[in-house]
Amino acid sequence: MTVARDIPTSRSRARRVRGRPLLYTSYAQDMALLDTTAKRAWTFVLVVLAFSLAAILQDRSLEVLAGAYVMAIGAIGLNIVSGYAGQISLGHAFFVAIGAYTAAALSGPVDGRTIGFGLAEIWIWLPAAGVVAAVFGVIVAPLAARLRGLYLAVVTLGLVFLGEHVFKEWKSLTGGPGVGREAAVPELFGIRLNEDGPLGTGEQTMYVLTLALLIVFALAARNLARSRIGRAFAAIRDRDIAAEVMGVPLTRYKVLAFGISSFYAGCAGALLYSITGYVEPGSFSLLLSVQFIAMVLIGGVATVSGSIMGALFIVLIQPLTRSLPALLPVISSDTTVTPNVYQVETVLYGLLIILFLVFEPRGLFGIWIRARTYWKSWPFSY
């Protein structure tokens, strides 16, 4: 009887944990998706607030936010391979392009000037775009699995230039540079989601769709990080030789990381250009890869919420970056050397990456953790 009294019941254990939320008494609590009541409450509030914006904001603002959510899906994909698995990838734009053109080809008209199969249903072309991009990621991964660091970065960087050349020359698929083609048509059971209809305006419908898909992809990535696969990714990232000694098959998990990351990128590419309705080969340049890298580093490496914060940050400052070239001739004494938008954005993203790496390596997620810790320990925050 004495031993029985000393064993805490599940109710008493839960009561103790409620008073000390960081005291875990089981692996299930440590690996919980949302391990505290405050996290569950705030997540619910943020999700409800995000969905309510569809009825509050103007259509143009909803279109910008929908694009930010799609970019966040791509940033989560890059964070899986670079943040969680530790494999440097500069070729994310290539896989985004694969997804965009796969979706456009499947959704395009059969008798059009470019390749088309007439499959406009989103439940067909969206997963197909992710699968085709994942196949290319798996093809590239065995080559990348033999490399690390700078050499891996150079190989993945070469994919961007190779893909840019192929897409510009393959005019039957892409329409050619400067011409382009129509992007995938977001249609569900015969209803075009990007047009006004019973579900609201096209912008409202696309906003709700992209937000819902972002939640699905974010939950999938968060659960992946908590699984055995995620722990293997972390072991490879932190010390790949030690991970191999412990029995972690490096090649298998590196291929898996590239495949999952490419799937996210392909889905993001298919959705991104379905919002604008147009896709052009010049869109998939090195700048797009730099944007995704900036999202990951500015938001926070190896964090799903950091990827979302970084994507929102980068997309929402784009109106400012695109207005800078118009201001530079006034500042510059020689207007003939005024940079264009591409040059300004490249310099700005590079500068932001350097500043965050120097002053806050954990990114916006680290700033949030620091602020949360400050108020938790207030008034003894010193």
Rounded distance between C-alpha atoms, residue 323 and residue 307, angstroms: 25
Rounded distance between C-alpha atoms, residue 236 and residue 242, angstroms: 8
Tokens of residue 239, six digits:
């010390």
Give me the residue spans of the domains in the chain.
57-282
Instruction: Give the 3-state secondary structure of residue 181.
Output: strand
For strands 181-182 and 278-279, give the pairing.
Answer: antiparallel
Point out the residues of the chain with pLDDT beneath 50.
Answer: 1-17, 330-333
**Structure confidence at residue 372 (pLDDT):** 83
**Structure confidence at residue 35 (pLDDT):** 74
Rounded distance between C-alpha atoms, residue 26 and residue 253, angstroms: 27
Angle at 214 between CA 213 and CA 220, to 5 degrees: 90
CA distances from 298 to 113, 217, 231, 369, 371 (A): 41, 20, 24, 14, 16
**Structure confidence at residue 197 (pLDDT):** 79
Question: Could you tell me the pTM of the whole model?
Answer: 0.89
Quote the DSSP letter at residue 88: -
What is the number of residues in the chain?
Answer: 382
